[in-house]
Amino acid sequence: MIRRLLGTSEAGLVLIILALGVILTFFGGSHADIRTGHQVSNFLNPDTLLEIATNSSFFAIMAVGMTAVIVSGGIDLSIGSIYALCGVSMALILRVLKNGNAPPLELIAVAIVVCVGIGLVCGFINGAAIRALDVHPFIITLGTLWVFRGIAFVISKAESILLPQPVVDFAKAGLGLSNGLHPVPLIAMVLAAVAGSIFLTKTAPGRRVFAVGGNLEASRYAGLPINRVLIGVYVLTGLGGGVAAFLGNAYYGSASCGDATGYELYVIASAVVGGASLSGGRGSALGAVLGAVLIQMIQESIQILHLDTNYEQIIVGLAIVIAVVLDRVGARMRAKRLLAARTDA
């Protein structure tokens, strides 16, 4: 049992994250705490740890939905644009409601509904277009990447729109923690990981996603609802984009059409580093979240170790390449073990 757990990609990611944490703790230096005056580690302190968790949470939430898409054998390049469209739509509607003196709870509720609703619609458009036109997901989502961000640009007139303070206060609620710590994004990331894991591993629709991604033709002959499964995973990705847009824009207090530019690369990278196979049929929500945390730790380590920030993209890119190579090596090893087991039988 223990050997099986240690052999999972999630366990390997946890070990890598812990090893990187140890390196940053011992070699990252220290600074004087402005509140107490005591020397604290540049890495191992509540502020830095929560900052890493917060920054990775927005990618991680979207990576959970992206993992479902990748497991099904697809890809979604429009996730960053979905984030931007959800954010500016929310901000524009809230600006109208704020001028009408809407109560705080109504503002928060409307913000969540708008972001989630638009995210779901964008995801459905992606999935339905892919199935109706029978075009590769890369092409469709590359097109909607421009369409969704273009709509965000037009409706916002390229303005940065401030969000009402009650919405910001919700995302930055301290929940009883001291020293200005804001755990709401972290809690949302954990809930997304749990919900994604339950969906993919404990429900019939989740198992169908693995079946379709593992062997589309066999799934079709088995009578699985292919269209429903493949449209559904893009709806999930849109949901993740909407939730992340609400939390991210509310946390930082504003929204613009340029938000989340390039996020699709980090989201896909989080899923891939987390063990999702680009050929489909394999991946996990927990792995995607751990992948997002690891990538954020790599970015943070560049600053803590006072390395040249120009190397950040190189390091993250190498991490993705290494993850894909390890995935292919692991696939070959599993195929050899399966062939050997059949031969012995």
pLDDT recorded at residue 1: 46
| Residues of the chain under the 70 pLDDT cut | 1-9, 35, 100, 178-179, 323, 327-328, 330-331, 334-335, 344-345
pLDDT in tens, 265-320: 889 989 988 888 888 888 999 999 999 999 899 888 888 888 777 777 787 778 77
CB atoms within 10 A of CB 176: 7
Domain ranges of the chain: 41-338
User: By the 8 A CB rule, do 68 and 118 touch?
Assistant: no
pLDDT recorded at residue 277: 86
pLDDT recorded at residue 327: 65
- Alpha-helix runs per DSSP H in the chain: 2-6, 9-27, 46-71, 79-99, 104-133, 137-156, 165-171, 184-202, 204-214, 216-221, 226-252, 263-273, 285-304, 312-344
Measure the CA–CA gap between 300 and 312, rounded to whole angstroms.
9
Q: State which amino acid sits at residue 51.
A: E
User: Which CATH number applies to 41-338: 2.30.30, 2.60.40, 1.10.3470, 1.10.260?
Assistant: 1.10.3470
